[in-house]
A and B are shown apart, each in its own frame.
Chain A
Amino acid sequence: MQTVFSIAVDALAYGMVLFVISIGLSVTMGLMRVVNLAHGGFAMIGGYIASYVARDLALGYGLALIAAVVFTILIAIPIERLLYRRIYGQPELTQVLMTIGITFCIIGIANFVMGPTLKTIPLAPALQGSADLGFRTIPVHRLFAIACGLAVALGLWYAIEKTNFGIKLRASVDNAAMAAALGVRTEIVYAVSFAAAVGLAAFGGVVGSEFLPVEPYYALRYMVTFLVVVSVGGAGSIPGALAACLLLGAIDTTGRYLMPEFGEFFFYLAVIAIICVFPRGLAGRAK
């Protein structure tokens, strides 16, 4: 029984980390209809910035987190203006080509500037060490990751469903021409959503760096994982993404506990099974 609880806690923590990193991608893919394969690249940039601020400048974890989000967005703004704006509404394959190109460039530049070694982000003292849950101990940073996941989920849900901006965003997505006619400046809506998605990527990159260490190849290494969770959840749906992350996190963690040598099989068979049952993703809406 204790083992079951223990696995459940691990699954929850892993699922939440996946959620924090992937949710930005869900926003770009579901709401902006851009297959942004460079999402991992932005998460990685966030990780590098945080590592530089926290480790090399020794300014602390909190500041590193903020700096990562802010500077990643600053880096992303010209990229959005020059490149992404050209592929909104283009066929998916064109978007794939462009964003893979961007990913390659990000990797190449990161490798050149930061070198090929692993970079760590020193945790704040409060996040180090372990907490006692009664039946087991758990690293505090995992609890932090779970909390971050919940906060992001609630925040996004609120922003999309309850705020003025959310209404404009949903209108622009459903019918850009109509939204524009109603006076919504879709360009700005898109730019802001993109910035938010990139900021979330950077945030996730930093929070998740204990699981997914920052190195130049990060951008491609985890691309598939992000893409899988977002699609299984149903792109654009916050609850869907959350459900997918928790479900896949649980399957992955349990599979790796019970039969580690077939871990990969479990995971991808589960993905196939879920998609066969829910061909539009867990929370996919009929088009």
Chain B
Amino acid sequence: MTEKTNSTLTASAETTRNRLRAGFISRDLYGVAAIVIVAAAGYVLFPDNLALLTRIIAIALLVLSLDLVTGYCGVATLGQAALFGSGAYAAGILSAHYGINDPLLMTLGGIIAGAVAGLVCGIVMLRAHGLPQLVLSIALVYLFHEFANKASSWTGGSDGLSGIVLDPLFGLYEFDLFGHTAYFFGVILLLIVFALLRIVVRSPFGMLCRGIKEDPVRIRAIGASPHKALIKMYIISGAVAGTGGALSAISTQVVALDALSFTQSAEALVMLVLGGTGSLFGALVGTLVFMLFEDFVSAANPFHWLTMVGALLIVVVLFAPKGIFGTVQDLLSARRNRTGETRP
């Protein structure tokens, strides 16, 4: 290797590094801006459909939380709704049984319950790997579901938990029929969670988790415990899912067993893989595309839309195997590399 090419390479490493450093803030800003723009566009384009949009936000939080454990840590789970539902029920029970109707306190309750559920699920889930782990997650979500069904004096059982009353947000904004307050509340929650998660995923801890996903043996060989890190991530994930659950409880004022269901978990996983795992944007894109597509086709043909959704999933696997966002990102970076090479 000659001196000259060596120094060019070194210089290019230097620029890469600077680009990366600068990229943190700008990518965060792009992300926040993108959410704000999409949220505003949703508000302007579908002012009559804010309930759907709020629901998308709640599910997006669930999918983000799933991305943390599946996308960043490589733990496949079909039981993420256990965390989401715990948050939803906690928020709902606070209001319906304890008269705590402040939406912020209810959200806090949801976050705590989600984190606790995350801890419990994490401890159990990490006993196995691969397929058996997937089955553990299924067993867990069914246990949570059954528990909620049994504790019907608290949860309303299969009739759902109703009687959730809401104080105005900050004492100012009533939760109204059109769902404006709930929508804005949801958008703000999403922005906060997104910003915090951006910080977490590029932090040393985030890097550790990516390492665990790729090779836990190597992580142990540098003296870190994958188990501890994964439990921690599960708690964070639970808090995020709990936020989504609380938002769902607040915006709909009902919580039912489906919030804790296997179906909900599986749908979340489908949305995540659809968007692309291992990236917060992927989680958001997947949720948005799936929910909007489902809403569109199920309104267009309420009787046979499932086939269309199935076809969408197949098409995505065939033509965008890394998920929608992952594949777009690959295409863009491939183009950047090409243009980079042709530059003198």
Chain A residues with a Cβ under 8 A of chain B: 29, 35, 83, 86-87, 90, 92-94, 96-98, 100-109, 111-112, 224, 227-228, 230-232, 235, 261, 264-265, 268-269, 271-272, 275-276, 278-281, 284
Residue contact A103 to B142, C-beta cutoff 8 Å: no
Distance of A35 Cα from B133 Cα, bound (Å)? 14
Residue contact A231 to B134, C-beta cutoff 8 Å: yes
A227 and B143 in contact (CB under 8 A), knowing A93-B277, A105-B307?
no
Residue contact B124 to A272, C-beta cutoff 8 Å: yes
A231 and B273 in contact (CB under 8 A), knowing A90-B321, A105-B311, A265-B146?
no
B218, CB-defined interface residue at 8 Å: no
Given contacts A104-B306, A105-B311, A107-B306, 8 further A-B contacts (CB under 8 A): A83-B314, A94-B317, A100-B310, A261-B150, A264-B142, A265-B146, A271-B139, A272-B124
B270, CB-defined interface residue at 8 Å: yes
Give the distance to chain A from B123, nearest Cβ to Cβ, in Å. 10
Q: Interface residues of B: mostly helix, strand, loop or mixed?
A: helix
B19, CB-defined interface residue at 8 Å: no
Residue contact A279 to B321, C-beta cutoff 8 Å: no
Per-residue contact bits, chain B 120-152, to A (CB 8 Å; 1 contact, 0 not): 000010011101101110111011001000100
Residues of A within 8 A of B307 (CB): 104-105, 107-109, 112
Distance of A7 Cα from B313 Cα, bound (Å)? 43
Chain B residues with a Cβ under 8 A of chain A: 70, 76, 124, 127-129, 131-132, 134-136, 138-140, 142-143, 146, 150, 262, 266, 269-270, 273-274, 277, 304-314, 316-318, 321
Residues of B within 8 A of A87 (CB): 317
A101 and B129 in contact (CB under 8 A), knowing A108-B304, A231-B135?
no
> Which chain B residue lies CB-closest to A274?
B132
Residue contact B76 to A93, C-beta cutoff 8 Å: yes
Residues of B within 8 A of A232 (CB): 132, 135
Residues of A within 8 A of B131 (CB): 29, 35, 230-231, 235, 281
Residues of A within 8 A of B266 (CB): 100
Give the distance to chain A from B137, nearest Cβ to Cβ, in Å. 10
Residue contact A272 to B146, C-beta cutoff 8 Å: no
List 6 A-B residue pairs with CB atoms under 8 Å apart, sorted by A's residue number.
A35-B131, A93-B269, A232-B135, A268-B139, A268-B142, A275-B128
> Which chain A residue lies CB-closest to B134?
A231
Give the tally of cross-chain contacts (CB within 8 A).
126
Residues of A within 8 A of B128 (CB): 275-276, 279-280
Residues of B within 8 A of A93 (CB): 70, 76, 269, 273, 277
Residue contact B127 to A101, C-beta cutoff 8 Å: no
User: Which listed residue (B127, B132, B146, B269) contacts A264, Cβ 8 A?
Assistant: B146
Give the distance to chain A from B227, nearest Cβ to Cβ, in Å. 13
> Which chain A residue lies CB-closest to B309?
A104
Residues of B within 8 A of A235 (CB): 131
> Which chain A residue lies CB-closest to B272?
A93
Give the distance to chain B from A235, nearest Cβ to Cβ, in Å. 6
Residues of A within 8 A of B270 (CB): 96-97, 100
User: Which listed residue (B135, B305, B314) contacts A98, Cβ 8 A?
Assistant: B314
Give the distance to chain A from B314, nearest Cβ to Cβ, in Å. 4
Give the distance to chain B from A156, nearest Cβ to Cβ, in Å. 19
Residues of A within 8 A of B306 (CB): 104-105, 107-108, 111
Residue contact B273 to A228, C-beta cutoff 8 Å: no
> Which chain B residue lies CB-closest to A277?
B127
- Residue of B76, B128, B317 with most chain A CB atoms under a 10 A cut-off: B317
Residues of B within 8 A of A264 (CB): 142-143, 146
Distance of A245 Cα from B234 Cα, bound (Å)? 31
> Which chain A residue lies CB-closest to B274?
A97
User: Which listed residue (B127, B277, B310, B321) contacts A276, Cβ 8 A?
Assistant: B127
Distance of A181 Cα from B300 Cα, bound (Å)? 52
Distance of A92 Cα from B321 Cα, bound (Å)? 12
Give the distance to chain A from B167, nearest Cβ to Cβ, in Å. 37
Residue contact B313 to A97, C-beta cutoff 8 Å: yes
A275 and B135 in contact (CB under 8 A), knowing A94-B317, A98-B313, A108-B306?
yes
User: Which listed residue (B135, B310, B316) contacts A104, Cβ 8 A?
Assistant: B310
Residues of A within 8 A of B129 (CB): 279
Residues of A within 8 A of B314 (CB): 83, 98, 101-102, 105
Residue contact B142 to A94, C-beta cutoff 8 Å: no
Residues of B within 8 A of A265 (CB): 143, 146
Residues of B within 8 A of A280 (CB): 128, 132
Residue contact A281 to B132, C-beta cutoff 8 Å: yes
Distance of A272 Cα from B125 Cα, bound (Å)? 9
Residues of A within 8 A of B277 (CB): 93
Residues of B within 8 A of A230 (CB): 131
